[in-house]
Structure 1
Amino acid sequence: MLDHFLVALGAVVPIFVLVGIGVTVRLRHLLTEAEIRNVNAMVFQIFFFCMMFYNIYTADFDKTFRPQLMCFAFFGILGLFFVAIAVVCLVEKQDFRRGAMVQAIYRSNYVLLGVPLVANIYGQELVAVPMALIPVVVPLYNVLGVIILEVFRGGPIAPIPIAASVLRNPMIRGALLGLFCRVVGLPLPHPILAPLHEVAMATTPVALIVLGASIRLDGVKAEPLQLAFCTVARLVVVPAVMLTAAALLGFRGVDFVTILSIFSTPCAVAGFAMAQQMGSDAMLAGSCVIATTLFASVTVFGWIFAAKTIGFI
């Protein structure tokens, strides 16, 4: 039990260290508000593009291919997305907040916390299982995020304009370009891949620092009901439903923990950047990242402990 607690704690503490650096940047006035917005735009436009391209281009699709697990992840996220829209539209009347709330419910920090969680439980020899789902989960997260934020900021609902908006998103373009290069077998030399790898590795730390520099403490208190609703939904309700479904469908071992890492981890940091760039409630989105990350060490520990006690892992 202590080992699992330390795994969850070890995944959460580095995030708060980086967010704390961002808070220090704000407190020491090292960046102005305008500069913070510009840095966040750089992360969204450049860093996330490079990260998505590199992850897709270098993914080892042949090492671990589990179609049933991929289908569960894909349709599980898609179903959760539509349920989240229906529920949020019932409890929240302002479109400005709806997009951020839907993202907070369906979109997890899978790459940042989920993959290391599986690796810490089963070791590096089985980390290829969650890694193989990144080309499925991450693009789906981004496509759905662009769609929901575009719709709730008053963008056109017609399929063609929405598709065009999705394709303009840097993360989607990076994923599509990486996939294209893989399909056509375009070899990229090391002098090109090396800096892309460095930018990809820097994306999460920089995004977290910008997050810390962007969020004020009073922002966490601005919408307490919406924040509490999203936090409970993300960390308790969603994993309860999805893990029950996974158990009933027979997923066990590393497959079950991979599903757990998708549906029980905190809100994605990228959701904050997208909310800020696309006119949604970025303060609420950032607050959801902080709150869910804070409580995740307890809830993720609880889900792991329960699953291990029952015998699913």
Structure 2
Amino acid sequence: MNSNFVIAVEAVIPLFCLMFIGIMVKKYHLLSSIELVHLNKMVFEVFFSIMMFYNIYTTDLASTLRPKLMIFGAAALFVIYIAAFSLVCFFEKDNRRRGAMIQAIFRSNFVLMGIPLVSNIFGDDAIAVPTMMIAIIVPLYNILGVFTLETFRGRKFAFWPIFIQVLKNPMIVGALLGAVCLLIGLPIPKPILKPLGQITAATSPLALIILGASFEFGSSRKNKLQLGICVISRLLIVPAVVLTAAVLLGFRGIELVTLISIFCTPCAVASFAMAQQMDSDADLAGNCVVFTSLLSCFTIFFWILLFKELGMF
């Protein structure tokens, strides 16, 4: 069997096995909806914060800090956002749908699915590079997401309150604390660092199980065209454009796979919650999350296999 095919399978299958476990948890009612909400909150506010801290604190800055990758990732995200905003506003006239569609196109499930994807290909020691990217990508996702939904809700966008909220994001707090402790050389005793590492190892699997258990299939018939545009854009058009540019600019190896983990993963679960809270089309947002998550099993496999066959990593 082609070794590149095997690598692609080994990168993708673990993600969806964990999500399938979550689907079974939901099917057999092992967690109530309230328990699931609390568990999800714990993972995002505690586990991901610890993961960010641990990965940055234990990293070798000389080998993991990639300014070129950070600049390209942020620039590509802005270009995708502007293109999505312009095209959606041109073709879609309903403001409630506009916000949900724009978020679905530019905002990916990078943290939940991208980090374990890199780990499955390069091993746990390599996730420091995509972890560094979280500190750039996640704040941009939050700021642009709020800006978009506030715009189509008809309210004024206030940058500084939103920026302060972004700084309070548990992942950003963990990243900043990890960076400070690393830069000042603060020694953390092994008996404390070890359990932090164990929590870090458990974070992605638990988050993917919760993602599977959180799937809700809404009514997709009334939004078929909009849903189709979002799914095709998120899983095919955005990756094709960004990854082509990345290859032409010379990104290879873990840097290219990190970009795959950012721009090829499905719609962010947070986009559904934000759509609910900010008067956007929550049904459309929810269906975008579900359908892109399910179909990304095939599209992520395709992108990994393609670039592996081309010898890019």
Q: Which residue of 2 aligns with 1:208?
A: 208
Q: Which residue of 1 aligns with 2:141?
A: 145
Q: 1:286 to 1:3 in 2, by over 3 A?
A: farther
Q: 1:81 to 1:287 in 2, by over 3 A?
A: same
Equivalent pair of 2:88/2:102 in contact (CA under 8 Å): yes
Equivalent pair of 1:100/1:149 in contact (CA under 8 Å): no
Amino acid at match of 1:132: V
- Deviation of 1:34 after TM superposition, in Å, equals 2.0
Q: 1:221 to 1:62 in 2, by over 3 A?
A: farther
- Deviation of 1:43 after TM superposition, in Å, equals 2.0
- Deviation of 1:150 after TM superposition, in Å, equals 3.1
Gaps of 5+ in 2: none
Q: Which residue of 2 aligns with 1:56?
A: 56
- Deviation of 1:289 after TM superposition, in Å, equals 4.4
Separation of aligned partners in 2, 1:282 and 1:198: 36
Percent pairwise identity: 49
Q: Which residue of 2 aligns with 1:179?
A: 179
Q: Which residue of 2 aligns with 1:134?
A: 131
Q: 1:5 to 1:300 in 2, by over 3 A?
A: farther
Separation of aligned partners in 2, 1:234 and 1:225: 14
Provide the secondary structure at the position in 1 that maps to 2:30: coil
Q: Which residue of 1 aligns with 2:263?
A: 263
Amino acid at match of 1:229: I
Separation of aligned partners in 1, 2:271 and 2:219: 16
Provide the secondary structure at the position in 1 that maps to 2:135: helix
Q: 1:247 to 1:235 in 2, by over 3 A?
A: same
Separation of aligned partners in 2, 1:22 and 1:124: 23
Amino acid at match of 1:134: T
- Deviation of 1:238 after TM superposition, in Å, equals 0.9
293-302 or 21-30: bigger deviation = 293-302
- Root-mean-square deviation (Å): 3.6
Equivalent pair of 1:267/1:289 in contact (CA under 8 Å): yes
Separation of aligned partners in 1, 2:306 and 2:19: 30
Q: 1:258 to 1:167 in 2, by over 3 A?
A: closer
Aligned pairs (5 A) from 1:36-55 = 36-55=36-55
Pair 1:13 & 2:10 matched: no
100-109 or 268-277: bigger deviation = 268-277
Separation of aligned partners in 2, 1:74 and 1:15: 25
231-240 or 201-210: bigger deviation = 201-210
Amino acid at match of 2:298: V
- Deviation of 1:281 after TM superposition, in Å, equals 6.4
Gaps of 5+ in 1: none
Separation of aligned partners in 1, 2:279 and 2:174: 22
Equivalent pair of 1:96/1:279 in contact (CA under 8 Å): yes
49-58 or 149-158: bigger deviation = 149-158
Equivalent pair of 1:8/1:297 in contact (CA under 8 Å): no
Q: Which residue of 2 aligns with 1:237?
A: 237
Equivalent pair of 2:89/2:98 in contact (CA under 8 Å): yes
268-277 or 55-64: bigger deviation = 268-277
Equivalent pair of 2:116/2:204 in contact (CA under 8 Å): no
Equivalent pair of 1:11/1:113 in contact (CA under 8 Å): no
Separation of aligned partners in 1, 2:274 and 2:260: 24
Q: 1:277 to 1:157 in 2, by over 3 A?
A: closer
Per-residue CA deviations over 1:93-113 (Å, capped at 9, x if unaligned) read 666665554444334455665
Equivalent pair of 2:112/2:207 in contact (CA under 8 Å): no
Separation of aligned partners in 2, 1:45 and 1:20: 24
Q: Which residue of 2 aligns with 1:4?
A: 4
Aligned pairs (5 A) from 1:58-207 = 58-91=58-91, 101-110=101-110, 114=114, 128=126, 131-135=128-132, 137-151=133-147, 152=149, 157-207=157-207
- Deviation of 1:50 after TM superposition, in Å, equals 1.6
Per-residue CA deviations over 1:125-147 (Å, capped at 9, x if unaligned) read 9x75x743431x21222212322
Amino acid at match of 1:194: K
Separation of aligned partners in 2, 1:275 and 1:174: 26
Q: 1:164 to 1:24 in 2, by over 3 A?
A: same
Provide the secondary structure at the position in 1 that maps to 2:63: coil
Separation of aligned partners in 2, 1:32 and 1:97: 30
Equivalent pair of 2:8/2:304 in contact (CA under 8 Å): no
Q: 1:188 to 1:281 in 2, by over 3 A?
A: farther
Equivalent pair of 1:61/1:132 in contact (CA under 8 Å): no
Q: Which residue of 2 aligns with 1:227?
A: 227
Equivalent pair of 1:41/1:277 in contact (CA under 8 Å): no
